[in-house]
Amino acid sequence: MTASAETVLDAFIRLLSERSFVDVTLRDVASAADLGLADLYRLYPDKIALAAAFMARIDAAVLAGTPRQRDPEETARDRLFDVMMRRYDALRPYRAALAAIRRAGVRDPLLALALGPPLRRSMAAMLEAAALPSDGLRGAARQSGLLAIHYAVARVFDRDDTVDLSKTMAALDSRLKMAERWSQLLDKYTVCRPTSESHSRPA
């Protein structure tokens, strides 16, 4: 990301912390970044692109803290917990801007739909950081599951005023444990089903 792109993104985030998503225009962002509207358009043609760049900035911060080598002692849940808590730590300075985007998405289904792909890319990046494959049908299911967990935990994160985000940690841990139990049940069912079917076939 160029210096100009970073400046524009900073201006966009700053404006979102003061106004609603709807009230922030591209002209406002260009003015706050001391940039011509045409120059801004070349970098970010709309607010969806700006919101996607905001998510990508958070993704990059999380990925930068990912160890190069995986600890063999850690479970998938442990790794995912660590990754998602790094995400909430990275989001902490931007809570007001994040809340503005989330409120706008709740009120505008088309906006929520447009923000879907960047959000799924973010969840895919978090899965990969936790050494969990994010491609294929199984990867898509993992992305959807993690997105559902993120939506639930984000509501706690928004109101978490603890120094160490302990309320967010507790909510995330609870949701991940629940997801782990469901995953284990699904794996057991998938493994057992072909065997039971083969036994039921006539000779």
pLDDT in tens, 152-178: 999 999 999 999 999 999 999 999 999
The overall longest dimension of the chain from CA atoms, in Å, is: 78
Q: How far lies 148's CA from each of 17, 120, 193, 196, in Å?
A: 25, 11, 27, 32
> Which one, of 31, 44, 30, lies nearest residue 2 by Cα?
44
Which amino acid appears at position 100 of this protein?
A
Neighbours of 99 (CB within 10 A): 16
Q: How far, in Å, CA of 51 to CA of 22, rounded?
A: 13
* C-beta of residue 99 within 8 angstroms of C-beta of residue 158: yes
Neighbours of 166 (CB within 10 A): 10
pLDDT category at 201 given cuts 50, 70, 90 is very low
Range of lowest pLDDT (71-75, 88-92, 177-181, 199-203) = 199-203
Which amino acid appears at position 17 of this protein?
S
pLDDT at 195 over 90: no
pLDDT digit string, tens, across residues 130-151: 999 999 999 999 999 999 999 9
Q: Which two tokens stand for residue 117?
A: 């792909």
> Which one, of 158, 35, 2, 155, lies nearest residue 12 by Cα?
35
- Note the pLDDT of residue 202: 42
pLDDT category at 199 given cuts 50, 70, 90 is very low
Helix (H, G, I), strand (E, B) or coil at 183: helix
- Note the pLDDT of residue 165: 96
Q: Which two tokens stand for residue 34?
A: 């001391």
Q: Which two tokens stand for residue 164?
A: 């160490």
pLDDT category at 197 given cuts 50, 70, 90 is very low
pLDDT category at 187 given cuts 50, 70, 90 is low
pLDDT category at 2 given cuts 50, 70, 90 is confident
> Which one, of 161, 146, 152, 125, lies nearest residue 81 by Cα?
146
pLDDT digit string, tens, across residues 16-48: 999 999 999 999 999 999 999 999 999 999 999
Q: How far, in Å, CA of 134 to CA of 178, rounded?
A: 20
* C-beta of residue 168 within 8 angstroms of C-beta of residue 88: yes
